[in-house]
């Protein structure tokens, strides 16, 4: 959808502020004068004018909440600006255009692998609004184990695991905290009037609040172990990282870290080895870590 028809008459700075209003309404569900002032460094009067101009252009997109002095998404919201999914994901995870020297194009030629797993923008928007407002979300979800099912979830974090985007949420169907792949959410609607219950918040997620410390070293069977020290910021031959338990397995898989206790995984892709596999003990996401086998369990390590 193209930007608002009169945008050509506006200055670049004002177009960016109106796009920011559009973005926050769609993906966070609300925007305030303070948000605009903080993001762009404008005076409150200027922010008020921007909000009035946006409201004039799209009255159904925005509704003023006098109780909180906040503008909220309208029931018939239709975005006025194009928001590419890559930019949306980058903005949500890194900040909307924040940072000195930020721009629309790279400062030097730069290429990235094209993502082939992209969530639907509208689904993402419904999910992120629920995260921002701490709301219950009713979804239809297609899982690998059970197929299609209806669930009530309380999402609280958006996660890029290197291969796909998922959300961390409390799942009322299983009474547990789980990861939900956004592309597998077939529909999502806010459960108005429903509120989180005790034990359903992020502070109650033991795998989320637990942080594990992992020591990675050059793979002992590597023909050129010195390359690992050049590729990674090692100190005394050790790369020390900290990760949430809920994400540690994804980190190990993303960087092809051999997590087997006897460094049995072979191949040039395994340039790193987890020096102490016991660091992943009790970590649920370790199930997807390359080569990891729980202590005392026999079996073939997965690569």
pLDDT of residue 89: 83
> Which tokens go with 74?
């309208």
SS3 content of the chain, % helix, strand, coil (to 5): 35, 25, 40
Q: Which fold has domain 121-202?
A: SH3 type barrels. (2.30.30)
State percent of the chain over pLDDT 70. Answer: 90
pLDDT digits (tens, 9 = 90+) for 183-204: 999 999 999 889 899 999 999 9
Are the beta carbons of 120 and 133 closer than 8 angstroms? no
The tens digit of pLDDT for each residue in 108-142 reads: 677 767 778 889 999 999 999 999 999 999 999 99
Q: Are 195 and 133 in contact (CB under 8 A)?
A: no
Q: Give yes or no for a contact between 52 and 70, defined as CB atoms under 8 angstroms apart.
A: no
Packing angle of the helix pair 85-94, 12-28 (nearest 10 deg): 80
Looking at residue 297, what is its pLDDT? 78
- What whole-number distance in Å separates Cα of residue 28 and Cα of residue 84? 16
**Where exactly are the structural domains of the chain?**
5-83, 121-202, 210-288
User: What is the phi/psi pair of residue 260, to 5°?
Assistant: -75, 145
Which pLDDT score, from 0 to 100, does residue 100 have? 44
Compute φ and ψ for 175, nearest 5 degrees: 55, 45
| Rounded Cα gap, residues 68 and 47, in angstroms | 16
- pTM for the whole thing? 0.84
Please give the Cα distance from 220 to 241 (Å, whole number). 19
For residue 3, count CB atoms less than 10 angstroms from its CB and return exposed for 0-12, middle for 13-18, buried for 19 or more.
Answer: middle
111-120 confidence digits (pLDDT tens): 767 778 889 9
- pLDDT-based confidence at 90, cuts 50/70/90? confident
Residue-wise pLDDT for 250-267, tens only, equals 999 999 999 999 999 999
What mean pLDDT comes out for the span 280-297?
94
Q: What is the pLDDT of residue 106?
A: 58
pLDDT exceeds 70 at position 99: no
CA dihedral 11, 16, 18, 21 (to 10 degrees): -160
Strand segments, DSSP code E, in 56-208 are 62-65, 70-73, 137-143, 147-160, 165-171, 176-181, 185-190
**pLDDT tens for residues 152-165?**
999 999 999 888 99
CA separation for the pair 23, 79 (Å, rounded): 8
The alpha carbons of the chain give a radius of gyration, in whole angstroms, of 23
For residue 78, pLDDT beyond 90: yes
pLDDT band at 296 (very low <50, low <70, confident <90, very high): confident
| Res. 76: pLDDT tops 90 | yes
Integer Cα distance of 88 and 68 in angstroms: 26
Q: How far is CA 101 from CA 83, 87, 104, 107, 288, in A?
A: 21, 16, 10, 9, 38
301 band by pLDDT with thresholds 50, 70 and 90: low
In contact, 273 and 257? CB cutoff 8 Å: yes
Looking at the DSSP bridge assignments, the partners of residue 65 are 70
Q: What is the CATH topology of the domain spanning 5-83? A: Arc Repressor Mutant, subunit A (1.10.10)
- Give the pLDDT of residue 298: 65
Per-residue pLDDT averaged across 218-242, rounded?
94
Q: Is the pLDDT of residue 103 over 80?
A: no
For residue 159, give the 3-state DSSP assignment: strand
* Residues 6+ positions from 202 with CB-CB distance below 8 Å: 156, 157, 168, 208, 209
| pLDDT grade for 299, boundaries at 50, 70 and 90 | low
């Amino acid at each position: 959808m193209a930007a608002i028809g009169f945008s050509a008459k506006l200055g670049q700075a004002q177009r960016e502020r109106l796009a920011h209003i559009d973005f926050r309404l769609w993906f966070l569900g609300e925007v305030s004068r303070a948000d605009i002032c903080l993001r762009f460094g404008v005076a409150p009067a200027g922010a008020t004018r921007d909000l009035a101009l946006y409201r004039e252009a799209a009255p159904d997109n925005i509704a003023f909440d006098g109780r909180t002095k906040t503008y909220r998404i309208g029931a018939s919201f239709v975005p006025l600006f194009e928001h590419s999914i890559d930019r949306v994901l980058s903005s949500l995870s890194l900040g909307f255009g924040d940072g000195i020297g930020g721009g629309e194009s790279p400062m030097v030629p730069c290429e990235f692998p094209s993502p082939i797993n992209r969530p639907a923008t509208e689904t993402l928007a419904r999910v992120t609004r629920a995260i921002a407002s701490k709301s219950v979300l009713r979804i239809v979800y297609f899982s690998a184990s059970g197929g299609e099912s209806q669930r009530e979830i309380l999402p609280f974090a958006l996660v890029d695991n290197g291969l796909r985007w998922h959300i961390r949420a409390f799942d009322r169907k299983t009474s547990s905290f789980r990861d939900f792949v956004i592309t597998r959410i077939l529909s999502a609607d806010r459960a108005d009037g429903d509120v989180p219950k005790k034990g359903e918040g992020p502070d109650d997620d033991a795998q989320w609040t637990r942080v594990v410390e992992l020591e990675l070293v050059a793979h002992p069977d590597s023909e050129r172990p010195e390359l690992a020290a050049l590729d990674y910021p090692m100190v005394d031959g050790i790369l020390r990282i900290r990760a949430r338990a809920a994400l540690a397995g994804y980190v190990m898989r993303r960087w092809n870290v051999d997590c087997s206790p006897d460094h049995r995984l072979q191949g040039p892709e395994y340039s790193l080895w987890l020096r102490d596999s016991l660091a992943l003990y009790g970590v649920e996401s370790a199930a997807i870590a390359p080569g990891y086998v729980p202590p005392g369990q026999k079996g073939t390590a997965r690569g």
